Structure 1
Amino acid sequence: MNLNPTGLGLAVLRRVAANPWLQRSGLGPRFDRLIYHGSRAGFAAATAGNRAFKAARSLSAPGRPPGVDPAGVFDLTPTDDQAMLREAAARFAGERLRREATDADETCAPPADLLDEAAGLGLASLSVPEELDGAGAEHSAVTGALIAEALAHGDMGLAVACLAPVSAANALLRWGTGAQQAAYLAPFAGEQPPAAAIAVAEDRPLFDPLSPATTAGRRGDQIVLNGRKVLVPRAADAEFFLVAAGEADGGVGVYIVERSAGGLSVEPAPGMGVRGAGTGSLVLNDTTIPAGNRLGGDDGCDYPALLALFRLAWCALAAGTGQAVLDYVTDYANDRQAFGEPISHRQGVAFAIADMAIELEGLRLAAWRAAALADAGKPFTKEAAIAHRLASRHGMAIGSWGVQLLGGHGFVKEHPVERWYRDLRAVGVLTGAVCL
């Protein structure tokens, strides 16, 4: 019998675990857990490395988000399901993301076990129709915003890493053809959902996402892509990418590019902030893909709407990280003593914290309003642009105030505020990566 290295190692562990002395000593359960996690990690690596994106079944028509039934009253009170999802995301952010954030920022990569746990939350399966064995839940931009905000309260970079595959699934749900959903969306409902990412940003001055330098040209029954994308989350382990590229008619299309595509290479490219997302660059040099990999097929996707959903996702991330800054600074100001009293008793400090809270509430509500319009099927691009402007401007200001209010402590890595400030700077700079 031939065993691969993973199988051989697990066979040895099983033999050790069966040792009677080990069971009597009380160490048996530990080895059982080791075998479980080892087999899970091994099979996960094998699945990711050898996954073939082929449709296991065909769809007569692509599944689309059912949308939200408008109540006729503007009410952003979370439903019971939304509150449950937000609570689960907040618990995961507090227990796992916050604890791993510093190391991830230093290594510029998210921990593999954390990503595995994030996939286990099943957020991506919410975007998979029931016909493809997914949760088939009511797709809601407001729900996505609540989840993104809760995760970013733990750490923005790791939140982006966790949400990158979910964002790709959301785009496939909204605009993918039946064949694309059967091949690329269905795996998100499985036990080992694929790692995926959206690639939009480019490294050139005054980059306009509506006029990318990356190009897509038709060659027979294939598409040839050329260009360079930067700050792509999870670039090192993503199994496929959704790449925005300019087309011959002046429009912009989004293309599904598998990692195995010829002419595609990935380079590490950490940035100033969101370093825990493991950002990298994609280099497309005559990268050839099937013509059927154009998102939405001949009809394409609603690219302006996709950009608006990008903006709303970054607004939600800014709200979560801004709340983390506000919470930390408030506790610090109440505990820090100067001249025999907490520094929060000083009007200059108290007023600054109050301004942070006011601006945070404003940008959060603007994002929720735009997301609610999207859920109702109404135009929302203008409202998304307004919310993004507030988030990029005031989110950065909240981070700056946080650093200043901590004084010298705000400038050192002993406190997380300097990292949150760097992350909040990304809101006004990055395009793409995360989509509601």
Structure 2
Amino acid sequence: MEENVTIHRYFDSAEQAELFTLVTKISEKELAPVAAAFEARAEFPRQLVARLGELGVMGMAFPERWGGGGQSVTFYLQVVEELARGWLAVAESVHLQVLTCRGLAQYGKDSLRERYLPAMLEGRLLGGNCMSEAEAGSDLAAMTTSATATDDGYEISGLKTWVSHAGVADVYLVYCRTGRSGPGGISCFLVEAAQDGVKVFPPFAKMGVCALPTAQVAFGEVRVPAERMVGGRNRGMLVAASVFDHGRMGISACAVGLAQAALDYASAYAKERRQFGSPIASFQGMSFMLADMAAQIAAARALVLSTARLIDDGYPASAEAAKCKLFATDTAMRVTTDAVQILGGYGYVRDHPTERWMREAKLLQIIEGTNQIQRATIAQSL
């Protein structure tokens, strides 16, 4: 992987610079070389993800009192971008873990935080969010999975779909209906994956990011104590909303990293590949394509970092996060497609990673709210 020295990073301390250098080394030396093999086997890299947890990557943007690193969202997203430059599935796994921890950290009871959060921030316990259902994707208010009150807690029944980390997660945050129809009747519960009644279906055969399992998870009369509720009764949408903006930002950073990897690879190839006695990078058709790719990536990165600083400063940023997700993931799709074009026939075969990156970019336009949903959010903010 070729290092792009034109990227300017924003560090607040020597500690951040040192950690970022280490992450870059891991991305280049440990993630990128094995990504294709793991993806071909659809094998989740648990040890690599755990290693990043040990280094504090998952907890860096959380308060120190819960075992976090107390770092800024701006720095965290730069780290996610760098991981995605090496291997998207690992970057997305870190992102998913952080999202699961965020709802627990912001709304969980102290006893629940103390029991689970430190182990999750260190990567010893993996988490997953169970939100979507077959008839309730972006429309979470339409969910039907229910949590019925019992003498000592709740009993959860229902089927969730599109659950990432399904089958490898140790705990799930499960969103259920506890009250009236609509968004006001939803609550969130922490459920251990090993509990009786939790069933994980075989992973979906996806077109990309195959090393990160995504599957349906069924809950058949799963009993949970009342203290496992995250947030108040019928207040689950507040917990979900707390992860929406951060979810969009994490995917945006992943998209920038993926696009950067494609640009680096295509640029290096174009300087080596010769046609008619000259490197193809010297041809205007190719050089202009590479220039457009570089400009789009720089714009996406700048948008992500400016929005991250808004979040760090405590400003509301839902519309800005939607803009980031829309622009960055569309950029990743364009850039990876152009990278395939620059490699020509070689770009279409699995001897080179460009075809895999193009397939992976498509996923980013869909998850954490489709780009059509992002456009609706942006339009409403106007």
Q: TM-score of the superposition, structure 1-length normalised? A: 0.75
Alpha-carbon deviation of 1:125? Answer: 4.3
User: Contact 2:103/2:242 (CA < 8 Å) preserved in 1?
Assistant: no
User: Contact 2:95/2:250 (CA < 8 Å) preserved in 1?
Assistant: no
Q: 2:284 maps to which residue? A: 347
Q: 2:252 maps to which residue? A: 315
Q: 2:84 maps to which residue? A: 152
The separation in 2 between residues aligned to 1:398 and 1:151, in whole angstroms, is 18
Pick from 194, 208, 213: which aligns with 2:138?
Answer: 208
Q: 1:227 maps to which residue? A: 158
Alpha-carbon deviation of 1:127? Answer: 5.7
- 1:76–1:124 Cα change, 3 Å: closer
Q: What do the CA deviations read for 1:43-95 (whole angstroms, capped 9, x no partner)? A: xxxxxxxxxxxxxxxxxxxxxxxxxxxxxxxx983222433332222211111
The separation in 2 between residues aligned to 1:332 and 1:280, in whole angstroms, is 37
Alpha-carbon deviation of 1:344? Answer: 1.1
The separation in 1 between residues aligned to 2:9 and 2:188, in whole angstroms, is 32
Alpha-carbon deviation of 1:270? Answer: 3.6
Q: What do the CA deviations read for 1:156-192 (whole angstroms, capped 9, x no partner)? A: 01222344334322332222221210111132466x7
The one-letter amino acid of 1:161's match is S
Q: 1:255 maps to which residue? A: 189
The one-letter amino acid of 2:20's match is R
User: Contact 1:158/1:274 (CA < 8 Å) preserved in 2?
Assistant: no
Q: 2:348 maps to which residue? A: 411
Q: 1:93 maps to which residue? A: 27
The separation in 1 between residues aligned to 2:296 and 2:161, in whole angstroms, is 30
Alpha-carbon deviation of 1:214? Answer: 4.5
* Residue 102 (structure 1) aligned with residue 32 (structure 2): no
Q: Find the residue that maps to 2:140 and give its secondary structure.
A: coil
Q: 2:293 maps to which residue? A: 356
The separation in 2 between residues aligned to 1:130 and 1:236, in whole angstroms, is 30
User: Contact 1:212/1:244 (CA < 8 Å) preserved in 2?
Assistant: no
- 1:203–1:335 Cα change, 3 Å: farther
Q: Larger Rg: 1 or 2?
A: 1
User: Contact 1:128/1:188 (CA < 8 Å) preserved in 2?
Assistant: no
The separation in 1 between residues aligned to 2:24 and 2:200, in whole angstroms, is 32
Q: 1:217 maps to which residue? A: 147
- 1:323–1:167 Cα change, 3 Å: same
* Residue 77 (structure 1) aligned with residue 10 (structure 2): yes
User: Contact 1:391/1:427 (CA < 8 Å) preserved in 2?
Assistant: no
**Percent identity (aligned):** 28
* Residue 237 (structure 1) aligned with residue 171 (structure 2): no
Q: 1:284 maps to which residue? A: 219
The separation in 2 between residues aligned to 1:350 and 1:203, in whole angstroms, is 45
Q: Find the residue that maps to 2:224 and give its secondary structure.
A: strand
The separation in 1 between residues aligned to 2:157 and 2:331, in whole angstroms, is 36
User: Contact 1:108/1:276 (CA < 8 Å) preserved in 2?
Assistant: yes
Pick from 208, 217, 230: which aligns with 1:273?
Answer: 208
How many residues align? The count is: 354
* Residue 334 (structure 1) aligned with residue 267 (structure 2): no
Alpha-carbon deviation of 1:284? Answer: 2.2
User: Contact 2:154/2:224 (CA < 8 Å) preserved in 1?
Assistant: yes
User: Contact 2:145/2:157 (CA < 8 Å) preserved in 1?
Assistant: yes
The one-letter amino acid of 1:84's match is E
Per mean C-alpha deviation after superposition, the further-off stretch among 370-379 and 330-339 is 370-379
Q: Find the residue that maps to 1:431 and give its secondary structure.
A: coil
Q: TM-score of the superposition, structure 2-length normalised? A: 0.84
The separation in 2 between residues aligned to 1:368 and 1:243, in whole angstroms, is 31
The one-letter amino acid of 1:171's match is G
- Structure 1, unpaired ranges of 5+: 1-74
User: Contact 1:322/1:398 (CA < 8 Å) preserved in 2?
Assistant: yes
* Residue 114 (structure 1) aligned with residue 48 (structure 2): yes
Q: 1:176 maps to which residue? A: 108
The one-letter amino acid of 2:231's match is G
Alpha-carbon deviation of 1:138? Answer: 2.2
